[in-house]
Structure 1
Amino acid sequence: MPQLEFDATSQSKREFIESVIEFCKPFFDEALGFDFSKNDCLKIAYCNFENRAEVYEDFCKRFFPLYLSENYDRNSIFVAQSFTNADDEIYGILICLDMEPEDADWYQIIFHEMSHIFCISRELGRDNFTAKYLSSAITKSPKEQCMDFGYAIWREFIADYISYKVRPITRPLSFAQMRKVVRELDPGVCVSNPEQTVNTSIILAHIFVHPKIQEARDIETVLQALKRNRIFSSKERCEDYRELIKLIFHQLEDDYCWEITPQFIVKIGWAYLLMRLN
């Protein structure tokens, strides 16, 4: 099935995005037995920079009241956000029309948000991991900090990974391309960067969707491939990622890799905090 193309002379941006969503639904339903195409369960809302807070609050009041209790940044900038409802099989995506991704990127964005929805609604049965385990306290214990960092890294990684497995929109990066991207992102894996965990998730996603990495039968084979192709700036830096890569490698061996435990998430966070963060 060919991808759709956005023609600004015949379709509005909103209509184009709606077409992308309808295109993505059957791929996701077929790959994972989900139900995005059933009973109008996927709710979509659109906003712009000026009204994003008001639209967010109205969307949550109507369908996703749990999210109203979170500390929402009224000035946050986003392309899309996903929502689930613990009581009903109702899911949502809020899309900001003022953002300007390339047309082809909308497919990856929608698959990514659908993957978030799938994982959030399956990772603990019907419980919400954020509501159940993540503390909103300003001062947090070491375990709570590990949980925050671990879940931030895992949730973005697994959404990228599953969206790729459902339907690869683009080919995996070659090792040469991966080297360039990783070396651009890795300096941002540092305490001063608010996107530090996002950078880490993107690095891990590029690694684990590569065919050679997916063929690997053990963690040492993965690390040897990364070192041999000089993916990181040094062998020592590659070793910094060893425990994170090991934890994810073994998690992905499970057919239900999206199912997680708080213990696993703490281990991810601890492995991250033990890295030498610039």
Structure 2
Amino acid sequence: MRAMVEPGSQAEQVGRLLLAVFAVLALPALPFGTYLTYPFAILTTWFHEMGHGLTVLAFGQEFDRLVIYANGSGVAESRVSADLSPLASAAIAAGGPLGPVVAGALLILASARARLWRPALWAVAGAILVSVLAYVRSPVGLSVLPLVAGGLALIAWKAPAGAARFTLQFLGMLGALSMLRDFNYLFTEEALIGGRRILSDTGQIEAALFLPHWVWAAVILVVSALVIGGALKYALAENRRWPPRPRPPENTLQFRRGPRD
């Protein structure tokens, strides 16, 4: 019986990747599924809040600390100038959902080059540990994130090349789709986080600029889909599976025999 999907093909890689991401997103609905996916939930929160924090630093403001709560929610606490422009405020708010998309796309692109697989995993593990030392100030983050970083370092060190590549792509997809774990939050103007009711990311963009928050939520989703779709198309292209045939020297004659009549 002929296989529906060719082993090692682009379709197989995409299928495995989407299945793994779907499992992480869907398992919480099953009994004990929340416990199985808890480290991934904390990691997606880390992606999101570090997106805010790094955007704050990019605008020359102060990123104080990152707090991750036991329920998987989190907050990036920062100090910004009173005269910060509305555009900068909106960009900082958008850094939460869009920062992980950019980071995820870069990780997926790195998976297209075998020499980058392990260094990229080492880089992610190192970034998590540096953030824990510099910014994370909550028991959940301090206990879970170092374990995640250790697991990634172990994969980068010992895992087969195929597993390293899959992990890199999975991390990229996890970061890019981190907003889908809290899809309702993206289309909510306010949210209750850490016992406080605050504006959501899109609510802050609405307050800083114009148009309703749900319009900005839709824009973020479209941009995310385009960025990640382009990264996946590049990284999983079929012509990257095999090295190109060497071109003969220009002074070499080539003779080809056509089909018989």
Q: Which one has the bigger helix percentage?
A: 2
TM-score range, shorter chain: under 0.3
Structure 2-normalised TM-score? Answer: 0.27
Structure 1-normalised TM-score? Answer: 0.26
More contact order relative to length (CA 8 Å, sep ≥ 6): 2
